[in-house]
Amino acid sequence: MTQRHRIPSSCVACDLRGLEVLLPHLAGLVSVDEVERAPGVIRIVARARASEGLCPACGTASSRVHGRYERSLGDSAVGGSAVVIRLRIRRFLCRKPECTTVTFAEQIPGLTSPHARFTPVRLEAMRAIARALADRAGARLARMLGMPANRMTLLRLLRRLPDPELTTAPSVLGVDDFALRRGHVYGTVLLDMETHRPVDLLPGRTAGTFAAWLRRHPGARVICRDRAGSYADGARTGAPDALQVADRFHLWHNLGEVVDKTVRAHQGCLRSVPHSDHDAEEEPPSGAPQPGFNDVNGRERRLVTRTVERHSAVHRLLAEGASLNAISRSLGLAFRTVRRFARAATADELLAGAVHRPSKLDEYKPYLTRRWNEGCRDGARLHEEIQADGWNGAARTVQRYLSTFRGHATAEPAPAPPPKPRHLTTWIMSHPDNLDPDDAVRLKAALEECAELRSLVGHVRDFAQMMTKREGHRLDDWIAAATVEQLPNLCSFARVLRHDHAAVSAGLTLPHSSGAVEGTVNKIKMLKRQMFGRANFDLLRIRVLHTF
């Protein structure tokens, strides 16, 4: 039920004192004539206290009233109820004859503005909601707070926010890319590394876009970036005097990729254990299939044959002087496939991941081998036995493994399953003091089987010490030592570091890093997903610049 309350003249002073408490932004500007309460809304009928108005064109004061009308303004909520102010507005006649404005509507400073439907207090609250949530989520919150607003209204308020004034770039600038549509559309975020606040968002991630921004905003002394070549070129072009700093996290991540590739390439070394306790040099029985390279019938796997033939053909054509594109057309292979074969020194590097792939049956192989040597040849029975021990694979997998023992009286003891490549990579990239004792033992056993991995571990630990202790002056010695190793991936990584020597040396010496930029990129991803498909670049840019 609607309740109306007209203020008696004897209670005006009391009501104004209450008004000053509840609505302090109205008390000194308007006179309240009536308060009407309906379910969920409070309507206040009021009028301006001033006896005259100022012409917006010439600034002349006028008290000559031309007419009156009523105007509604949404205000901040009171007690969870929406507040609507119904202002009785006067139109004044301008007293200056030469003024082009004949009549004008009075404006109440701090309360009204031309064509506005909300008070400044309400507008500021709605802008805060729009910056934090925007769109549908913001509209739901505004409705619950007693300030109902359409989602499109919130988006319009966002787009009307002014760009932060920026004439010069921060002295320490961070740059990184983010995905608007992963794999297709990207943008660039620029960050003030001293305040950790975004200063701008750029469409695309090209060197030209970044260089143009740097030329428009001079002043950057240090530019923190990842290993992307486009940002290095853009910084070199747009701010040639700035010091580029390569991020340590990305350097360590790139080295981790090198370790992973090397471990996978030498996975076969971890399976080369003695077949017998009595004779470590004893060859496997004649006719026994080689693990990984042969199938269950002893024939070489088609994958192995095809890979060896293609690798030989690619390197033969390379020796004849053919280009990668010509080889791709000649052999009917994709360019990336030809490039991968050309970069591999031997076919074993290409086959390592396929023929030495770990199997979930590895931990049950010693038991199956022992039961076979005890005389149990029934695959179905052995499958049931390991099922009771936790095996949940198919019986065909067990039978395929047992088929390698057919024709032999006894089977060679199955070696302990080698560590998975990702586990071995983690152990190598971890500080020795932080390793679990069991993992340390398994790492030591794996390194004893492969001299290349032992050499790799030494270089990784030297790089880690150089990075954590900020010993960038040792970079040249590390690159020289890594280049002479017979580890193709490590040599390639060392050559790349030499090409970006100045930025890498600065990253290993100075305290600057791109950690704050990576955190901002994660926040941008959160905002992008929160906007439910309305992540157009202009709207996302406004939210990023006004939210963080």
Same domain, 335 and 393: yes
Which of these three, 405, 431, 451, is where a domain ends? 405
The SS3 of residue 453 is helix
Same domain, 501 and 522: no
Q: What is the DSSP letter of 434?
A: G
Tokens standing for 250? 């990305």
SS (H, E, C) 158-219: HHCCCCCCCCCCCCEEEEEEEEEECCCEEEEEEEECCCCEEEEEEECCCHHHHHHHHHHCCC
Q: Is residue 280 situated within a structural domain? A: no
Q: Is residue 89 situated within a structural domain? A: yes
What is the domain count for the chain? 4
Tokens standing for 27? 């008390």
Same domain, 450 and 390: no
Give the pLDDT of residue 497: 92
Same domain, 525 and 503: no
Same domain, 192 and 207: yes
Model-level pTM? 0.70
Same domain, 12 and 95: yes
| CA pair distance 476, 547, nearest whole angstrom | 43
Q: What's the domain range around 360?
A: 288-405
Same domain, 387 and 441: no
Q: Is residue 167 situated within a structural domain? A: no
Same domain, 444 and 487: yes
430, HSE (Cβ side, Cα atoms, 13 Å): 15
Q: Is residue 163 situated within a structural domain? A: no
Q: Is residue 534 situated within a structural domain? A: yes
Same domain, 292 and 399: yes
pLDDT mean for each 10 residues of the chain (548 residues)? 49 52 72 82 85 86 88 86 88 88 86 86 90 86 89 88 87 92 88 92 92 93 90 92 92 93 80 40 41 48 81 91 91 90 78 65 82 84 86 85 76 70 91 90 88 92 93 92 87 90 92 90 87 76 87
Q: Is residue 382 situated within a structural domain? A: yes
Give the pLDDT of residue 352: 64
Give the pLDDT of residue 8: 47
Helix axes 515-530, 537-547, angle to 10 degrees: 120
Give the pLDDT of residue 19: 61
Same domain, 369 and 313: yes
Tokens standing for 193? 């590394």
Give the pLDDT of residue 385: 86
- The alpha-carbon radius of gyration of the chain (Å, integer) is 37
Single-letter residue type at 109? P
| CA pair distance 460, 252, nearest whole angstrom | 9
Q: Is residue 322 situated within a structural domain? A: yes
Is residue 130 within 8 A of residue 141, CB to CB? The reply is no
Which of these three, 371, 405, 439, is where a domain ends? 405
The SS3 of residue 51 is coil
End-to-end CA distance of the chain: 45
Q: Is residue 15 situated within a structural domain? A: yes
Same domain, 239 and 324: no
Same domain, 459 and 481: yes
Q: What is the DSSP letter of 268?
A: G
* Residue among 341, 348, 339, 336 at smallest CA distance from 262: 348
Element (H, E) at 86: strand 81-93
Give the pLDDT of residue 378: 85
